[in-house]
Structure 1
Amino acid sequence: MMKKTILLLLLAAFATAAWIVLMPQNVEKTTITVFCAAGLKKPVEEIALAYQKETGDEVRLQYGGTGTLLSQLKIAKQGDLFIAADDGALSDAKKMGVTREEFQLVKQKPVIAVAKGNPKQVDGLAALKKPEIKLALPNPEAASIGRVTKQLLGTGWDALAAKAAVMKPTVTEIAADLSLGAVDAAIVWDSTVPQFNLEAVTIPELAKHEEFATAAVLASSTQPAATLRFARYLSAPEKGGAIFQKHGFHNVPGDKWAAKPDLILYSGGVNRPAIEKVLLEFAEREGITITTTYNGCGILCAAMKTMEKSSDPKFPDVYYACDVCFVPPVAEHFPEAVMLTEAEIVIAVPKGNPQGIHTLADLARPGLRVGLCNAEQSTLGFLTSSMLKSMNLWESVSKNASSQVPTGDFLVNQMRTGSLDAAVVYRINIQKAQDHFDAVPLPADKSKAVQPFAVRRDSEHQQLGRRLLAFLREHRKSFEDAGFTWRGEEVPVKSTEIVLPEWLRQK
């Protein structure tokens, strides 16, 4: 009996030990601190609880008037995320340098709020000035709705402020007063009305104005990946978006939710030296993966046309071409582009230029071994062939083309082995090999390739793609160090309105 008891105890101990080993190890969860405008408290609180349940990460919320929160952030310089109720507050935050990435969440309009049924028959600003109407106003120094309304009404605000029975620092406080019957009318956001079972009175002085409530990652955040993940959840239409909508807010479309999205990038090979490290930094900051394909743009465009539908999971979300001429072929998928950089096309020759090559015409000399890129596969090849054709040199030079490859890097490698006497490449291709090569300049009006960046029209990661563009713009130095000329501050251009010079329209 004793042996049996001991055996049972040992088995029990073993089973317990095994259970302990099989339990997941304690994983340190993230705590995200969010400063949120009071008017968005109800939906944001519900979204935070759903997020905590789904991910295990904790979200700590601090509410207040947007202006009050902004003052706190300026002094404390702590926290992870700031949710502002209006564009002006967000602009102020940017000027102060306390915010980075932005996620528009909802649209809001200022309205007059009254009790259900509008018992006091409030129908406009004049009614608010009547002696029998008790009016509540938001403090413009603390609440976004107050500041916005004051700006819209101009001198008319002063009369209302003098008449107001009460002025409070948050929109929720005055809405609560109204719902309890302490006041007869208040100016609030239209999204506040359904949260407190009130009725909205729309007036022309306010009706046309719209503000965005926006979540912005704080520059003080020490955990950007976790913060950005929660911000993506807030703005995802099937996650935070659905909850905002349930509470009566007007959503701004965000990206489809993914805890760790994969952004697919097609890039012309010439861009690789400038963006490769920057892409790694962006992926680490966002907590995502980036699947990148570098190749000649002719090959990239052909691959997109082969896929036919952008619903193909391998279709790129973003496209960074070697030249603007390779955007129109895929304009239906990429409706606008930002001209991010510019690269010069040159003739690369061995150091000292032993063959005495000075012009494109020199490449037609008998016996010269010339390297050109393939016109159907690459931007560089297309630009080179178009340039030569416009100068009536294509037939004579192409006879010497012992090599036609997809990218300029291939030509540079062939020149290193001594199998070519000259090659038409981007200056960037020989930027870091100036001890081995010289660059012969080409006609200025035809030797510039402009690199456009575009986000796919129906990508599930549109906002992520736009944040990548913003991140690239922050790293101008990386492009200039690689040999590009910077053009990243230019406004986007519609792909269908891109006009190519006559010499590039040759078939």
Structure 2
Amino acid sequence: MLKKLIIVLCLGAAAVAAWMALKPARTSSPPLTVFCAAGIKKPVEEIAAAYQKETGTEVRLQYGGTGTLLSQLKITKQGDLFIAADDGALADAKKLGVTREEFPLVIQKPVLAVAKGNPKHIDSLAALKNPGIKLALANPEAASIGRVVKKLLGPEWDALAAKAAVMKPTVTEIAADLSLGAVDAAIVWDSVIPQFKGLETAPLPELAKHEEHATATILSSSQQPAEALRFARYLTAPEKGGPIFKKQGFNPVPGDKWAARPDLIIYSGGVNRPAIEKLLQQFATREGITLTTVFNGCGILCASMKTMQDSSNPKFPDVYYACDVCFVPPVAEQFPEAILLTEAEIVIAVPKGNPKGIHTLADLARPGLRVGICNAEQSTIGFLTHSMLKSMNLWDSVSKNASSQVPTADFLVNQMRTGSLDAAVVYGININNDKAHFDAVPLPADKSKAVQPFAVRHDSPNQQIGRRLLAFLRGQRTSFEDAGFVWKGDTAPVKSADIVLPDWLKQK
């Protein structure tokens, strides 16, 4: 009997072990703490429950007026996300230094709410001032809607506030009073009205054209930014949070296509590698995403994109960081706008001490010199070098000495290290960290500058991640300057179609 019992217990243990092996593994992440504006409570609560069920990560929500929550964050400096109901509160949070990445969730408008059918015929500020009208307002010190309306109405606010029947700290409290019949009117967000029975909007011209964004932002205090960012992506995803916001009467701002761990594909010219390689890894770790990065000559990168025919190919890059603006027009359809992030100088690299006495591009044509240049069809610097030499009537004579034409300038530097080249046309950045072995000979100032544009694909499923990467890189000026770049990242975006190349670069 004992023997049978042991066998049964062993079989049971084996069955449990087998079931555990088949059961999907779930991460045991610490709970996320989210400070959420009260007016957005219902959809966020539903989305948080769905997220917890899908990922196993608990989301703890704390609600209140946006102003009240902001005061808490200033004091406690704890939590993972803050959801502000208006743009002004978000700006205040940024000034306090408590926030980082931002995710617009919904667009909201301030409106005058009344009981269904508007029985008191309230349709103007004058009507709200009538002695028989009971008005509910949100406290501007505590709630975003109160602060926004106070600013919009100016002096009229004081008159309304003086006669208000109630003034409460959250928009949902005054909407509830109106729904219960305790007041006749309330000024609320348009998204709040569908959340309460028996309410409708009445016209109020002073508010009609104004709108605000409710935005989720990652708190600087978050100890698990990757998980916080994942939840923020879930909130905005068209397949996840978006439909829930819409179902509950909100106007959602579309985010990126949902993926628990998105893969961002980046094409980058080789010159950018020394500055961005480590930065990309920092960004990927914080975001909790995978980065597929392809470094190569921009001619090769553009040819690869053209081979894919269009951006419907899943391997088409989400982000393109070219070596110069001359390689943006070929893919302007997919990347219609760019930020000119950095600038790099083009030089003639020679061994330390310049033993061959090379001082100009014309010197590269001297008989017997072994010269390295990059391939004009494969790389930006090759194209620029070819165009520069052609414009100076030096191409034929210098190209005869070109014992090497490679896709990227770092190959030329390696060949110089082995002594197989006497000189090479490269970026100054390529030899910036090896000044003990190389000297740089400057080239004509009007033709020796390459400007690196950063662009996010207009139809990328990871467009918002790409834009956050751009924002991250624009905050890393020192890293780029330490690598030898000249910083240009504070300039306004340029339209790819508006990029005009100088005449010397238009030569065939």
TM-score of the pair, normalised by structure 1? 0.98
**Residues 39, 171 of structure 1: 8 Å contact kept:** yes
**Residue equivalent to 1:480:** 481
Q: Deviations over 1:332-362 (max 9, x none)?
A: 0011000111100000001110110000111
User: Stretches of 4+ moved more than 4 A in 1?
Assistant: 24-27
Structure 1 distance, partners of 2:193, 2:464, is: 29
Q: Percent identity?
A: 79
**Residue equivalent to 1:262:** 263
What are the residue-to-residue correspondences of 1:302-317 with 2, within 5 Å?
Answer: 302-317=303-318
Structure 1 distance, partners of 2:26, 2:410, is: 49
**Residue equivalent to 1:42:** 42
Structure 1 distance, partners of 2:110, 2:26, is: 48
Structure 2 distance, partners of 1:245, 1:308, is: 35
**Residue equivalent to 1:335:** 336
Q: Deviations over 1:275-313 (max 9, x none)?
A: 111111111101110000000000000000000110101
Q: Offset of 1:502 from its aligned partner?
A: 1.5
For 1:116, give the aligned amino acid.
K
Aligned with 2:3 (options 7, 32, 40): 7
**Residues 81, 216 of structure 2: 8 Å contact kept:** yes
Q: Deviations over 1:391-427 (max 9, x none)?
A: 1111111111111110000100111111111000000
Q: State the SS of the aligned residue for 1:102.
A: strand
Structure 1 distance, partners of 2:502, 2:173, is: 61
Farther off after superposition, 89-98 or 200-209: 200-209
Structure 1 distance, partners of 2:453, 2:339, is: 5
Structure 2 distance, partners of 1:389, 1:46, is: 65
**Residue equivalent to 2:131:** 131
Q: Deviations over 1:245-268 (max 9, x none)?
A: 001111111001100000000000
Q: Offset of 1:29 from its aligned partner?
A: 3.1
Q: Offset of 1:16 from its aligned partner?
A: 2.7
Cα distance change, pair 84–207 in 1 and its aligned pair in 2 (3 A): same
**Residue equivalent to 1:74:** 74
Q: Offset of 1:367 from its aligned partner?
A: 1.4
Q: Deviations over 1:421-451 (max 9, x none)?
A: 1000000111111111100001111111111
Q: Offset of 1:112 from its aligned partner?
A: 0.1
**Matched length:** 503
Q: State the SS of the aligned residue for 2:119.
A: coil
Structure 1 distance, partners of 2:11, 2:271, is: 61
Q: State the SS of the aligned residue for 2:107.
A: strand
Superposition RMSD in Å: 1.1
**Residue equivalent to 1:438:** 439
**Residue equivalent to 2:158:** 158
**Residue equivalent to 2:415:** 414
Farther off after superposition, 66-75 or 388-397: 388-397
What are the residue-to-residue correspondences of 1:346-361 with 2, within 5 Å?
Answer: 346-361=347-362
Q: Deviations over 1:362-399 (max 9, x none)?
A: 11111111111011100000111111111111111111
**Residue equivalent to 1:457:** 458
Q: Which runs of 5+ in 1 are unaligned?
A: none
Farther off after superposition, 23-32 or 74-83: 23-32
Q: Which runs of 5+ in 2 are unaligned?
A: none
What are the residue-to-residue correspondences of 1:25-40 with 2, within 5 Å?
Answer: 28-40=28-40
For 2:9, give the aligned amino acid.
A
Report whether the alignment pairs 1:92 with 2:92. Answer: yes
**Residue equivalent to 1:171:** 171
Structure 2 distance, partners of 1:26, 1:250, is: 33
Structure 1 distance, partners of 2:312, 2:67, is: 43
Structure 2 distance, partners of 1:424, 1:29, is: 52
Q: State the SS of the aligned residue for 1:186.
A: strand
Structure 2 distance, partners of 1:444, 1:144, is: 53
Q: State the SS of the aligned residue for 1:103.
A: strand
Q: State the SS of the aligned residue for 1:191.
A: helix
Structure 2 distance, partners of 1:382, 1:293, is: 20
**Residue equivalent to 1:147:** 147
**Residue equivalent to 1:489:** 490
TM-score of the pair, normalised by structure 2? 0.98
**Residues 35, 69 of structure 1: 8 Å contact kept:** yes
Q: State the SS of the aligned residue for 1:161.
A: helix
Q: Deviations over 1:224-262 (max 9, x none)?
A: 001000000001011111100001111111001100000
Q: State the SS of the aligned residue for 1:51.
A: helix
Q: State the SS of the aligned residue for 1:119.
A: coil
Q: Deviations over 1:73-111 (max 9, x none)?
A: 000000000000000000000000000000000000100
**Residues 26, 55 of structure 2: 8 Å contact kept:** no
**Residue equivalent to 2:383:** 382
Q: Offset of 1:207 from its aligned partner?
A: 1.1
Q: Deviations over 1:5-48 (max 9, x none)?
A: 23321221112322443426885233100000000000000000
Report whether the alignment pairs 1:16 with 2:17. Answer: no
**Residues 28, 57 of structure 2: 8 Å contact kept:** no
Q: Deviations over 1:135-179 (max 9, x none)?
A: 001111110011001111111111111111110110000000000
Structure 2 distance, partners of 1:183, 1:281, is: 53
Report whether the alignment pairs 1:373 with 2:356. Answer: no
**Residues 27, 55 of structure 2: 8 Å contact kept:** no
Q: Offset of 1:488 from its aligned partner?
A: 1.1
**Residues 27, 57 of structure 2: 8 Å contact kept:** no
Q: State the SS of the aligned residue for 2:69.
A: helix
For 2:132, give the aligned amino acid.
E
Q: State the SS of the aligned residue for 2:147.
A: helix
For 1:137, give the aligned amino acid.
L
**Residues 346, 425 of structure 2: 8 Å contact kept:** yes
Structure 2 distance, partners of 1:196, 1:379, is: 60
**Residue equivalent to 2:223:** 222
For 2:265, give the aligned amino acid.
I
Structure 2 distance, partners of 1:130, 1:497, is: 57
For 2:207, give the aligned amino acid.
L
**Residue equivalent to 2:275:** 274
Structure 2 distance, partners of 1:139, 1:377, is: 63
**Residue equivalent to 1:402:** 403
**Residue equivalent to 1:289:** 290
What are the residue-to-residue correspondences of 1:98-109 with 2, within 5 Å?
Answer: 98-109=98-109
Structure 1 distance, partners of 2:489, 2:236, is: 27
Structure 1 distance, partners of 2:288, 2:16, is: 31
What are the residue-to-residue correspondences of 1:232-243 with 2, within 5 Å?
Answer: 232-243=233-244
**Residues 299, 378 of structure 1: 8 Å contact kept:** yes
**Residues 30, 226 of structure 1: 8 Å contact kept:** no
